[in-house]
Chain A
Amino acid sequence: MAAEGKTIDALSQFELTHAFGPIGAAVNFTQSNAHMLAACVVVVLIMAMGMAPRAVVPGRFQALAETFYEFVENLVTGQVGHEGKRYFPFVFALFMFVLFGNVIGLLPYAFTYTSHIAVTFGLAFLVFLVTTVVAIALHGKKFLGYFFPEGAPLWLAPIIVPVEVVSYLSRPISLSVRLFANMVAGHVLLKVFATFVVLLGGLGIVGPFIATLPLAVNVLLVGFEFLVAFLQAYVFAILTSIYLHDAVHLH
């Protein structure tokens, strides 16, 4: 599709279209929503099937489910401390949703919903709201002290407080932009090199031989994108935990 007209069209893969035919069009149900639904179903299936046997020696699915569980649990308790167990379900849900969004998006013909800033900012804003509400619920008015370090001279307050507030408000933006930019950059790179394969492959007799070069790059890139998919989900979860740590311990 991209090579038609001999141009590189790397961005049309992010366009939203309606899924499920006329019914989807009537309620504006896009392929992005369909993939979110698919990711949720996969996550629920993995966890449900993994937990069903309850074996002492885990089978394959149970080992998978336990690996996910322990990975996030270690992450949350490591960052937030023992009281972080309360926030484990939140971080786990976020981690699995982002991880499976990234990974499912790497399958051929699939759509990556984490490549839309609306989705990632929605998630990041949810994190921002939850951490702020947790901080206010736990500390009340003392939460405002977060924006002014103790011991700083009072006349500096007009400078320090706006800077701290803006720094605090920039958190959801950096959280969402990081995930969004990584996913978009990866998929654009894949598309560009895949288009090179098609364009160079049409160059007569030598074409197919030259085309193996971008093909090799793409093979490497796919592996790298799987790394990025896991890494970005991990980064999203660990930053959420760090923000929760700040909210719980207020520093």
Chain B
Amino acid sequence: MNERDDFDARLKRARQRRGLDKGDGDAAQGGPSGLPGGALRIGMRAGIEVVSALIAGGGIGWFLDRWLGSFPWLFLVFFLVGGAAGVLNVYRLFNPRRGAQG
């Protein structure tokens, strides 16, 4: 039963974060994107988000460079874009986007 209770609590928090439930703001405990809390876990997750965004950005730049034959330049640009996307990912981790449209 304990596991189910724990899940119900997590589900409640997730619903609160998604704005599906109106509750008193207790959302800080779990990770804001539905992941279990814990500083190390959130830190790991943030690290993975940044690294994967860098890989995605660098990969796009590298492929475009190989296609257009302009080696370092697009790679450098998209590496920076990847870094920005990584920061954006981490920002989204703590403030999930609430859409302009429903």
B-contacting residues of A (Cβ < 8 Å)?
Answer: 71, 74-75, 78-79, 81, 142, 145, 149-151, 159, 162-164, 166-167, 169-171, 173-174, 177-178, 181, 231, 235, 238-239, 241-242, 245, 249-251
User: What separation, in Å, do the CA atoms of A167 and B18 have in the docked complex?
Assistant: 20
Q: Which residues of B contact A249 (CB under 8 A)?
A: 99, 102
Chain B residues touching A, majority SS? helix
Shortest distance between the CB of A217 and any CB in chain B (Å):
18
Q: B52 and A173: CB pair below 8 A?
A: yes
Known: A173-B55, A231-B36. A181 touches B60 (CB 8 A): no
- CB closest chain-A residue, reference B35: A235
Q: B34 and A150: CB pair below 8 A?
A: no
Q: A167 and B20: CB pair below 8 A?
A: no
Chain A residues touching B, majority SS? helix
User: What separation, in Å, do the CA atoms of A167 and B91 have in the docked complex?
Assistant: 11
Q: Which of B86-102 contact A (CB under 8 A)?
A: 86, 88-89, 92, 97-102
- CB closest chain-A residue, reference B84: A163
B27 at the A interface (CB under 8 A): no
Q: Which residues of B contact A145 (CB under 8 A)?
A: 101
Give chain B's interface residue range (CB within 8 Å of chain A). 35 or more
- CB closest chain-A residue, reference B14: A78
Shortest distance between the CB of B22 and any CB in chain A (Å):
15
Q: Which residues of B contact A241 (CB under 8 A)?
A: 34
User: What separation, in Å, do the CA atoms of A193 and B26 have in the docked complex?
Assistant: 40
User: What separation, in Å, do the CA atoms of A52 and B38 have in the docked complex?
Assistant: 40
Known: A71-B7, A235-B35. A170 touches B89 (CB 8 A): yes
